[in-house]
């Protein structure tokens, strides 16, 4: 971690210093008392089950140099800590304190900061950006999808002094969250992947989703920051229209700063597209991406755009993407013991990512018999049933065998029945994963391709584990 001057931290935290410790640098910030050591500050969080204040003694016993906790709570225990010679700082909100410390770290870092938000493809795009940049720079990036009030600061604390670029993902569930995260990061480059129906449970309408994503702009400096976004997405374009600084548009079909000239051609294994830069006016560079799916091309263009802004040539960016691999649980291809191909995309799901992934799978498995396991698309609020019925209609038209599982499985089935009298669909409850896996194990052969997708909270990976177990038992 980049060390922080204690006085800078105290000033920014604007809290109550209940005990003043020695003049030192904060060398490490921890949220688990067991990770504390000399030079570390233990930031005490209030979890849903545990109150971290109960673990202060533990952190102190391990040599923590400072404690940042809730003012009133620290006030109650300050007398019990008379033997503690470190800093004791009380604040109103320790999660906010964590964000402020992350802000300080980023201010001290020399790294260019790239912040990615959007409805789908944040993690994919973050990984692609890091991949494109790594040949020219020392790159720090968000771990996994550590993209919220807690995860973002924890990611930031891992930046090293010599990192040139930090690629950070900003996620949200409610208005105001991106504003806070963007204020921590103060991005040099903001990336908005798209604005689609997701998180409608909290935001209700696509306009409110758009407004929430537009909060990214509040962290950008209209004189020095750039915004990279997708011209093909009307709502993302509208967000960009409100930004007075440098804009970099990408498009799969229209002339933009970076765009696809001609058709995107994808077979089962590769996606090919001729990518041109409007500014360079040359013959373009042929992308050969080792996964099928035209939706990935939008993410790729955004990543290449960020690369170009930071001086990575289009040729070099395109060439590095040949060796890109997806983070786990995203379009993960494996072969089962008896030879069936599995595409597991159980990281997350909303209507557009579901459709995009299904289409990519169908191409990938065009010469196979296709079976699908479809879970819930969560957090869609009052429109959830509508979107699941719509998906059902789509699946019925596709016509392959589908196992639907979860709270909205019946709605998927109802949607299918509107299109077909007898859709090839089996409905399961979430507590029947084992039965579903068993059914799959009885039908799958090496001629099959299995697709599994649903929202993270459904944990559809359990089905895959159980399916493997059934297949190895038989």
Closest CA to 388 of 359, 413, 423: 413
Cβ distance to ligand ADP smaller for residue 138 or 238: 238
Provide, rounded to whole angstroms, the least separation between the CB of residue 63 and ligand ADP: 37
Closer by beta carbon to ligand ADP, 65 or else 142:
142
What is the residue whose two structure tokens read 């299109």? 419
Minimum CB distance to ligand ADP, residue 329 (Å)? 8
Residue nearer to ligand ADP on the CB measure, 122 or 276 = 122
Nearest-approach distance from CB 387 to ligand ADP, in angstroms: 14
Angstrom distance (rounded) from CA 11 to CA 253: 50
Q: What would the x/- binding string for ligand ADP be over residues 279 to 308, using CB under 6 A?
A: ----------------x--xx---------
How near is the Cβ of 89 to ligand ADP at its closest, in Å? 34
235's tokens: 């709502």
From 53, 100, 122, 131, residue interacting with ligand ADP (rule: CB under 6 A): 122
Tell me which stretch binds ligand ADP (CB under 6 A): 206-214, 348-356, 428-436, 438-446: 348-356
Q: How far is the CB of 55 from ligand ADP (least distance, A)?
A: 32
Which pair of structure tokens corresponds to residue 321? 């993407």
- In the complex, what is the shortest distance from the CB of residue 315 to ligand ADP, in angstroms, rounded to a whole number? 23
Exposed e or buried b per residue across 104-139, where buried means at least 16 C-beta atoms within 10 angstroms of its C-beta: bbbeebebbbbbbbbbbbbbbbbbbbbbbbeebbeb
Which one among 215, 345, 376, 379 touches ligand ADP, defined by CB under 6 A? 345
Place of tokens 């890109």: 324
143-162 residues in contact with ligand ADP (CB under 6 A) are 145
Give the range of 41-49, 56-64, 346-354, 398-406 binding ligand ADP by CB under 6 A: 346-354
Q: Does 213 bind ligand ADP (CB under 6 A)?
A: no
Residue span binding ligand ADP (CB under 6 A) among the ranges 39-47, 75-83, 274-282, 340-348: 340-348
What are the tokens at 411? Answer: 């709605």
- Beta strands 425-428 and 401-405, pairing class: parallel
CB-wise, 352 or 458, nearer to ligand ADP? 352
Residue placing its CB nearer to ligand ADP in the complex, 188 or 345: 345
What whole-number distance in Å separates Cα of residue 294 and Cα of residue 298?
Answer: 7
Beta-strand runs (E) in 119-257: 139-141, 165-169, 189-192, 226-230, 246-251
- Considering only 94, 148, 353, 439, the residue that binds ligand ADP (CB under 6 A) is 353
Measure the CA–CA gap between 94 and 47, rounded to whole angstroms.
11
Q: What is the C-alpha separation between 473 and 454, in angstroms, rounded? A: 26
- Closer residue to ligand ADP, CB minimum distance, 121 or 375: 121
List 250's β-bridge partners, or say none. Answer: 230, 258
- Closest approach of Cβ 247 to ligand ADP, in Å? 19
Buried b (16+ CB within 10 A) or exposed e, 274-290: bbbbeeeeeebbebebe
Candidate residues 357, 439, 441, 458; the one interacting with ligand ADP per rule CB under 6 A: 357
Determine if 458 is a binding residue for ligand ADP (CB under 6 A). no
Using CB under 6 A as the binding rule, whether residue 330 contacts ligand ADP is answered as: yes
Neighbours of 337 (CB within 10 A): 13
Options 73-81, 85-93, 119-127, 129-137: segment touching ligand ADP (CB under 6 A):
119-127
For residue 407, is it left (φ>0), alpha (ψ between -120 and 50) or beta? alpha
Q: Does 6 help bind ligand ADP (rule: CB under 6 A)?
A: no
Is residue 177 within the footprint of ligand ADP (CB under 6 A)?
no
Q: What are the two backbone dihedrals, phi and then psi, of residue 24, each rounded to the nearest 5 degrees?
A: -150, 175
- The yes or no reply on residue 194 touching ligand ADP (CB under 6 A) is yes
Check binding of 193 to ligand ADP (CB under 6 A).
yes
Residues 6+ apart with CB under 8 A from 377: 349, 350, 351, 354, 384, 387, 388, 391, 408, 454, 455
Which residue number places its CB atom closest to ligand ADP? 121
| List of residues contacting ligand ADP (CB under 6 A) | 120-124, 145, 193-194, 295, 298-299, 330-331, 345, 347-348, 352-353, 356-357
């Amino acid at each position: 971690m980049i060390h922080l001057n204690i006085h800078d931290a105290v000033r920014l935290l604007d809290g109550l210093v209940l005990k003043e410790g020695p003049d030192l640098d904060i060398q490490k910030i921890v949220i688990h008392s067991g990770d504390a050591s000399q030079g570390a500050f233990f930031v005490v969080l209030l979890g849903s089950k545990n109150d971290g204040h109960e673990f202060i003694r533990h952190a102190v016993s391990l040599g923590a140099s400072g404690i940042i906790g809730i003012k009133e709570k620290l006030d109650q225990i300050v007398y019990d800590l008379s033997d503690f010679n470190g800093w004791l700082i009380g604040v109103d909100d320790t999660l906010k304190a964590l964000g402020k410390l992350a802000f300080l770290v980023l201010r001290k870092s020399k790294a260019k900061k790239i912040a990615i938000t959007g409805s789908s493809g944040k993690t994919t795009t973050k990984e692609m950006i890091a991949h494109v940049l790594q040949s020219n720079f020392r790159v720090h990036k968000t771990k996994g999808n550590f993209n919220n009030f807690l995860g973002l600061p924890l990611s930031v604390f891992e930046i090293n002094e010599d990192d040139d670029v930090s690629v950070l993902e900003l996620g949200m569930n409610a208005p105001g969250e991106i504003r806070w995260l963007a204020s921590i990061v103060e991005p040099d480059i903001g990336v908005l992947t798209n604005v689609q129906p997701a998180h409608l449970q909290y935001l209700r309408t696509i306009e409110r989703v758009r407004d929430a994503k537009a909060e990214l702009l509040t962290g950008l400096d209209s004189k020095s920051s750039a915004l990279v976004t997708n011209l093909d997405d009307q709502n993302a374009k509208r967000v960009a229209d409100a930004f007075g600084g440098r804009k970099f548009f990408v498009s799969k079909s229209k002339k933009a700063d970076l765009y696809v000239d001609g058709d995107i051609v994808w077979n089962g294994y590769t996606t090919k597209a001729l990518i041109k830069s409007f500014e360079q006016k040359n013959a373009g560079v042929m992308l050969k991406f080792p996964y099928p799916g035209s939706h990935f091309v939008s993410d790729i263009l955004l990543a290449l755009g960020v690369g170009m802004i930071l001086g990575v040539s289009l040729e070099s960016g395109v060439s590095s993407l040949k060796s890109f691999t997806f983070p786990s649980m995203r379009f993960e291809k494996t072969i089962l013991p008896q030879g069936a191909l599995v595409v597991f995309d159980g990281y997350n799901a909303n209507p557009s990512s579901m459709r995009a992934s299904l289409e990519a799978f169908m191409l990938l498995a065009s010469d196979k018999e296709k079976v699908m396991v479809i879970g819930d698309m969560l957090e869609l609020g009052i429109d959830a049933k509508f979107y699941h019925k719509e998906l059902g209609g789509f699946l019925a038209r596709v016509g392959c065998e589908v196992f639907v599982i979860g709270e909205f499985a019946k709605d998927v089935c109802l949607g299918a029945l509107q299109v077909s009298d007898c859709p090839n669909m089996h409905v399961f409850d979430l507590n029947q994963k084992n039965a579903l896996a068993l059914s799959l194990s009885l039908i799958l052969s090496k001629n099959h391709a299995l697709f599994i997708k649903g929202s993270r909270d459904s944990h559809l990976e359990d089905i895959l584990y159980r399916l493997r177990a059934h297949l190895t038992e038989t």
